[in-house]
């Protein structure tokens, strides 16, 4: 505890935290004739005003769930008092036999893994032929104060697995050609050989 506290105090007074002793800031200030400092001060004033009047952050409209983030097509196939389970169907004709379940940490929102079309794990996986299921955790409130880790296990992960088990057998009756995992062998020289 003492070590952590001392490290935090030392970091507060690190030379990089001050304009006069930060070579990168000094270089940019010279190159921009101080415009970077003016922009920083104006940003600070705008943030301070928004916080003072309890206004939403700047450009929050640019991050609407379903419009700008979490845009990979999916549907909620199960919900209970703790989770919603989202299914993303593969975007390919050939489909892997086993589905994937993604369990984000309960302090994160599921769409951290589907931020935008150019950096979305969900989009990447469905474009590779995977059926993806993802848990979206409910925001806890005062009614959830008695939830335990066992509740998160049983109402979260285990409930999601049960819901997936009810859906996956239907997938086997489709006309999609299933891809199977590649099998690997090790040849006599010890290098991996694909079979």
- Is pLDDT of 167 > 60? yes
Give the C-alpha separation, 137 to 80, whole Å: 10
Report pLDDT digits (tens) over 16-66.
999 999 999 999 999 999 999 999 999 999 999 988 998 877 776 666 666
Same structural domain, 87 and 175 = yes
Q: Is residue 30 a part of any domain in this protein?
A: yes
Q: Is residue 65 a part of any domain in this protein?
A: no
Element (H, E) at 168: helix 159-171
Average pLDDT over residues 159-188: 59
Rg of the chain, C-alpha, whole Å: 25
Give the C-alpha separation, 184 to 87, whole Å: 30
Report pLDDT digits (tens) over 108-158.
777 778 877 788 899 999 999 999 999 999 988 899 899 999 999 999 999
Q: Give the residue numbers spanning the domain of 20.
A: 2-52
Q: Is residue 58 a part of any domain in this protein?
A: no
Greater model confidence, 194 or 7: 7
Same structural domain, 107 and 165 = yes
Confidence of residue 186 (pLDDT cuts 50, 70, 90): very low
pLDDT number for residue 118: 81
Nearest by Cα to 144 from 183, 106, 185: 106
Confidence of residue 181 (pLDDT cuts 50, 70, 90): very low
Same structural domain, 33 and 97 = no
The average confidence (pLDDT) of the chain is: 83
Q: Is residue 195 a part of any domain in this protein?
A: no
Same structural domain, 121 and 79 = yes
Same structural domain, 36 and 83 = no
């Amino acid at each position: 505890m003492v070590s952590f506290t001392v490290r935090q105090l030392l970091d507060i007074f690190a030379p990089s935290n001050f304009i006069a002793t930060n070579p990168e800031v000094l270089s940019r200030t010279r190159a921009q004739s101080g415009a970077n400092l003016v922009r920083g001060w104006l940003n600070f004033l705008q943030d301070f005003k928004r916080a003072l009047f309890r206004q939403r952050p700047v450009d929050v409209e640019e991050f609407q769930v379903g419009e700008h983030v979490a845009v990979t097509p999916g549907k909620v196939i199960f919900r209970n008092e703790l989770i919603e389970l989202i299914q993303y169907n593969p975007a390919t004709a050939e489909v892997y036999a086993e589905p994937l379940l993604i369990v984000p940490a309960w302090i994160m929102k599921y769409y951290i893994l589907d931020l935008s079309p150019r950096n979305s794990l969900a989009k990447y996986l469905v474009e590779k032929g995977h059926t993806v299921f993802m848990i979206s955790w409910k925001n806890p409130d005062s009614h959830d104060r008695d939830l335990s880790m066992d509740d998160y296990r049983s109402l979260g992960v285990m409930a999601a697995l049960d819901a997936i088990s009810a859906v996956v057998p239907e997938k086997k009756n489709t006309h999609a050609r299933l891809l199977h995992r590649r099998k690997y062998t090790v040849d006599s020289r010890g290098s991996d050989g694909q079979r």
